[in-house]
Amino acid sequence: MRQLLTKMHAVARLTLRQVRHERGRTVFVVLSIALAVLAVTLLASVGLGVLQTGEERFDRAGQDVWITADGVELTETGGIENPITDSHRLAADLERRDDVKTASPLAFHGVYVGTGPDDLELVTGLGVPNTHGDLSLESGDGFSEGDSHYANGTYDGPMSHEILIDPQTADRFDVDVGDTLYVGASRSSATEREFEVVGISDAYSQFLGTSTVTMPLSELQTVTGTTGTDRATYVTVTTAADADRAAVSDALQQSYPEYDVRTSEEQFKSLLSEYLLVLASGATLVVLALIAGIALTVNTLVLMAIQQRKELAALRAIGLSRGFLAGIVGGQGLILGLIGGLLGLLATPAFAFGLDHVAARVVGFEGLLRTPPEVYVGGLVIAVGIGTLGAIVAGWRVARDARVDTLHV
Amino acid sequence: MEPSSVAVGCERVTHEYGTGSTVSRTVTALRDVSFEVATGEVVGLVGPSGSGKSTALHIIGGLLEPNNGTVDVLGTDLTALSGAKRTRLRRDHIGFVFQQFHLLPALSARDNVALPLIERGVSRRERQRRAAELLEQVGLDDRMDHLPSELSGGEQQRVAIARALVADPEVVLADEPTGELDTGTGARVLELLVDVADERTVLIATHDERAMAVTDRVLRLLDGEMRQAGQFSDEQ
């Protein structure tokens, strides 16, 4: 036992001397491992963030049950197919039930928005019955009238000409609350209708992941010429206080078999299943990041071991065992993996913050990169665990191949 | 280890490089080489580059396994031992001196000399004491804490000699120990090696025939074959 401790102490001393003496190599290996860990943590953060962000958006929407019909797909005009007809009547029917507190039809349609005829852009238009009570507005007060234009299906009520926009659209057109925007289903019709900006909020754009302008549902239907069928994409339902959302969902499905009724969790999963390719690509990226991280870490440490092959060959020639030599290289792997790993983990929050901002600008989602403790643990396991193991194996193999020809090179 | 008047014996030893399945061409480094070295004898293994003398030395040291023949070191047939047992025999009974010194650049002269004692489980204090003792014997008592990079070539080779002897081996194998040194320094290093080795068996592989003045006997290798043997003085 004492001999073993003596040997282990000697291995530790030798390892530290090697690490301290070869500073250039140490810095290179540490930086390589740090980069490998950073690649793993950032990509894993994206993967986790995609799932968590999606779930949170649904939670934030505050809706318990989602009703739609057939598949909801993007249309060529940038909107989403609106499969539900007579949506106001359906919502009114639903609200008469005891287990339903509110029912709101939502419609999506691509609309042209701009400050002038030459400055129009196609964005997603969202029609809602009124400003949701818990909608967070950066500025403005939201809709004053709500869906009054509907007027029991006659569409002859007064149009409020009010619109909510997201911060990106506000920046793009340099408008603020009280300013005017043109909105229309086509470039030519857009300049015929002026809407006043009554609020700026990223709630809807965050939910959809794209620039969004929101207006009362009946006014969107009028602008896009869909009043005849009163189309909507979804009717969202909040259940009564004491009702179980799954039970309500089941009951609604029985009452309305022509529609697809889902709880918010089911709806989220349903949407995910429609983006299987995207998810598979994301998962593949995460797996590749893990493999690349492991490969880079192990490769760096193998190179480090190969660089020391002459020294290891000499040590073997003077009678030191393969186990001892593997211990020296493995010890270096442990130390360098630990330092490199911690460096990578320390850099992760800053890089995640920066990438998150880039992602928010590009795809519209904030908080897309998530760095829960599991991400850090995974990075450290790769750097220290895999790194040390790789270094030990490399040391063992290099010691095995450390022969005469090595000494003569 | 059994006492024997023959410290090292090679019997019809043949070794080829490149006999692996991936290499199509083979080079015969040693062919049917036989010789014996008595205990306490200092023997020179002479020949030009590529004659097989380093290969012979590494086979005797258990670093290479011959393709054919038997190698006896201190009464033990090396060819019958596993790799681990050969390593143990080398650790306990053989000291190596290399042409390029092969000192660890991160360690001081004293720590380099102490290295072979680690696997024997010798305490650090005792390792340091014995290393210092050896360094004194090779005249480096004032350079013990210097790194190899702070030492001249001759001093580095003296450190390597001290390292080869620190575990008190019965056999010392020196592979081109003067190859990296100028003639004067090389001669002094060889004299020191033989002097410090005392009663040990020493085999020195070299192509520098002038350095053979310190040996009791010469074995001459050419193209992997033993050509002649005799007293160094016989060859003058």
pLDDT the model gives residue B231: 46
pLDDT the model gives residue B68: 92
- Whether the CB-CB separation of A367 and A345 falls below 8 Å is answered with no
Mean of pLDDT values over A379-400 = 79
**CB atoms A404 and B102 under 8 Å:** no
Burial class (CB in 10 A: 0-12, 13-18, 19+), B187: middle
pLDDT the model gives residue A379: 84
Share of chain A above pLDDT 70, in %: 84
Mean pLDDT of chain B: 85
Residue B235 belongs to a domain: no
pLDDT the model gives residue A99: 87
- A407 to chain B: which residues are within 8 Å by CB? 98, 100, 102, 175
Mean of pLDDT values over A284-298 = 77
**CB atoms B63 and A317 under 8 Å:** yes
Question: Bigger pLDDT: B3 or B149?
Answer: B149
**Per-residue pLDDT at A271 exceeds 80:** no
Mean pLDDT of chain A: 81
- Whether the CB-CB separation of A235 and A67 falls below 8 Å is answered with yes
Main-chain phi, psi angles of B173, to 5 degrees: -115, 125
Residue B61 belongs to a domain: yes
**Per-residue pLDDT at A177 exceeds 70:** yes
pLDDT the model gives residue A134: 58
Interface test with A, best of B97, B101, B119, B120 (most A CBs within 10 A): B119
From A34's Cα to the closest Cα of chain B, the distance in A is 25
What span, in angstroms and rounded, lies between the C-alpha atoms of A313 and B102? 9
- A408 to chain B: which residues are within 8 Å by CB? 54, 99
**Per-residue pLDDT at B233 exceeds 50:** no
What span, in angstroms and rounded, lies between the C-alpha atoms of A344 and A175? 42
Sign of the CA dihedral running B58, B61, B66, B68: positive
**CB atoms A7 and B98 under 8 Å:** no
**Per-residue pLDDT at B135 exceeds 50:** yes
State the first-to-last Cα distance of chain A, in angstroms, to the nearest integer.
38
Question: Bigger pLDDT: A59 or A93?
Answer: A93
Main-chain phi, psi angles of B185, to 5 degrees: -65, -40
**CATH number of the domain that residue B82 is part of:** 3.40.50.300
Share of chain B above pLDDT 70, in %: 91
Q: pLDDT per residue over B145-202, tens digit each?
A: 999 999 988 899 889 989 998 988 999 999 888 877 777 777 778 888 888 778 899 9
Q: For residue B89, what are the domain limits?
A: 6-227
In this prediction, residue A405 has a pLDDT band, given cuts at 50, 70 and 90, of: low
Q: Which of B58, B94, B104 sits opposite A311 (nearest CB)?
A: B104
Residue B232 belongs to a domain: no
pLDDT the model gives residue A357: 83
A328 touches chain B (CB under 8 A): no
| A8-12, A55-59, B31-35, B64-68: segment of lowest average pLDDT | A55-59
Locate A349 and state its tokens: 């929050």
Q: pLDDT per residue over B55-93, tens digit each?
A: 899 899 888 889 999 999 999 999 899 888 888 888 889
CB pairs under 8 A between A and B: 89
In this prediction, residue B232 has a pLDDT band, given cuts at 50, 70 and 90, of: very low
Locate B26 and state its tokens: 């083979």
Mean of pLDDT values over B105-130 = 90
Question: Bigger pLDDT: A206 or A127?
Answer: A127
Q: pLDDT per residue over A33-74, tens digit each?
A: 888 888 888 888 877 777 676 666 666 666 778 888 765 555
From B135's Cα to the closest Cα of chain A, the distance in A is 17
**CB atoms A319 and B106 under 8 Å:** no
Locate A330 and state its tokens: 């493995």
SS3 A105: strand
Contacts of residue A407, defined as CB under 8 A and 6 or more positions apart, other chains included, come to A310, A313, A314, A317, B98, B100, B102, B175
pLDDT the model gives residue A408: 53
Instruction: List residues bridging with A196 in a β-sheet.
Output: A162, A180
pLDDT the model gives residue A61: 63
In this prediction, residue A80 has a pLDDT band, given cuts at 50, 70 and 90, of: low
A18 touches chain B (CB under 8 A): yes
A16 touches chain B (CB under 8 A): no
Quote the number of domains for chain B.
Answer: 1
What span, in angstroms and rounded, lies between the C-alpha atoms of A43 and A31? 18
Residue B223 belongs to a domain: yes
pLDDT the model gives residue A142: 82
In this prediction, residue B39 has a pLDDT band, given cuts at 50, 70 and 90, of: very high
Give CB contacts under 8 A, 24+ apart, made by A404-408: A404/B54, A404/B55, A404/B58, A404/B63, A404/B64, A406/A309, A406/A310, A406/A313, A407/A310, A407/A313, A407/A314, A407/A317, A407/B98, A407/B100, A407/B102, A407/B175, A408/B54, A408/B99
Residue B96 belongs to a domain: yes
Interface test with B, best of A316, A318, A397, A407 (most B CBs within 10 A): A318
Quote ipTM for the complex.
Answer: 0.78
**Per-residue pLDDT at A180 exceeds 70:** yes
Q: Inter-axis angle of helices A322-363 and A309-317, to 10 degrees?
A: 160
pLDDT the model gives residue A49: 75
Tell me which residue has tokens 């909040």.
A238
pLDDT the model gives residue B66: 92
pLDDT the model gives residue B235: 45
